[in-house]
């Protein structure tokens, strides 16, 4: 098993990738952010292929509600569940699976319905439906933080992930 020292990071991967054939995957053509950032980047390093995904955000589930309201996307648990569904689909499209996920970073906004606190329990319930299950026993490292806000005022959750598999 290849072990990387404490200085190993995404920036290290980026430097190595320039010499080793990085693959960039653009966002969906309908995305207004298509020219600003990528959906994901695959980086081969010493026989391991890393896939780094940009932040995933929730889809609108109730078009009758203005998009700047959380109700358009659901509560934290629903938003998390829908984002993790997107994560699974994106991974599969790139030849990876949920068991390949090695790192998750979650950004949660305080929910007005919870007195401005992030619903970490709702997030954890949806997360536990996906990771640490019989189907996906591999649990990634994870960071959850409460942030002041996300790009769309109705978003309560944004999730970034990194996956790795043998090349």
Angle formed at CA 159 by CA 58 and CA 85, multiple of 5 degrees: 55
Give the pLDDT score at 21.
86
d(CA 71, CA 108): 15
Residue 4 lies inside a defined structural domain of this protein: no
Confidence check: pLDDT of 18 > 60: no
Phi and psi at residue 61, to the nearest 5°: -110, -10
Burial class of residue 15 (count of CB atoms within 10 Å of its CB; 0-12, 13-18, 19+):
exposed
pLDDT band for position 167 (cuts 50, 70, 90): confident
Residue 5 lies inside a defined structural domain of this protein: no
Give 2 or 51, the one with higher predicted confidence.
51
What domain range is 23 assigned to?
10-166
pTM: predicted TM-score of the whole model, two decimal places = 0.87
Give the pLDDT score at 20.
60
Residue 33 lies inside a defined structural domain of this protein: yes
Q: Tokens 């990738």 identify what position?
A: 17
| Residue 144, CA distances (Å) to 46, 62, 104, 107, 157 in order | 30, 26, 8, 6, 10
Give the pLDDT score at 5.
47
Number of domains in the chain: 1
Confidence check: pLDDT of 82 > 70: yes
pLDDT band for position 16 (cuts 50, 70, 90): very low
Query: For the segment 28-61, what is each residue's pLDDT rounded down to a tens digit?
Result: 999 988 999 999 999 999 999 999 999 999 999 9
Query: For the segment 97-150, what is each residue's pLDDT rounded down to a tens digit?
Result: 999 999 999 999 999 999 999 999 999 999 999 999 999 999 999 999 999 999
Residue 1 lies inside a defined structural domain of this protein: no
Residue 3 lies inside a defined structural domain of this protein: no
Q: Is the Cβ–Cβ distance between 117 and 108 less than 8 Å?
A: no
CATH of the domain at 114: 3.30.1330.40
């Amino acid at each position: 098993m290849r072990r990387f020292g404490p200085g190993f990071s995404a920036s290290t991967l980026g430097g190595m990738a320039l010499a080793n054939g990085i693959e960039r995957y653009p966002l969906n053509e309908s995305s207004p952010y298509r020219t600003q950032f990528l959906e994901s980047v695959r980086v081969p390093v010493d026989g391991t292929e890393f896939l780094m995904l940009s932040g995933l955000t929730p889809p609108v589930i109730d078009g009758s509600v203005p998009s700047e309201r959380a109700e358009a996307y659901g509560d934290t648990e629903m938003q998390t569940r829908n984002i993790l569904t997107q994560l699974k689909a994106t991974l599969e499209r790139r030849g990876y699976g949920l068991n390949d996920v090695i790192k998750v970073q979650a950004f949660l906004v305080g929910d007005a319905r919870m007195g401005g606190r992030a619903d970490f329990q709702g997030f954890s319930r949806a997360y536990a439906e996906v990771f640490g299950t019989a189907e996906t026993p591999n649990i990634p490292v994870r960071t959850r933080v409460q942030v002041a806000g996300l790009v769309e005022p109705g978003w309560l959750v944004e999730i970034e992930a990194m996956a790795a598999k043998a090349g």
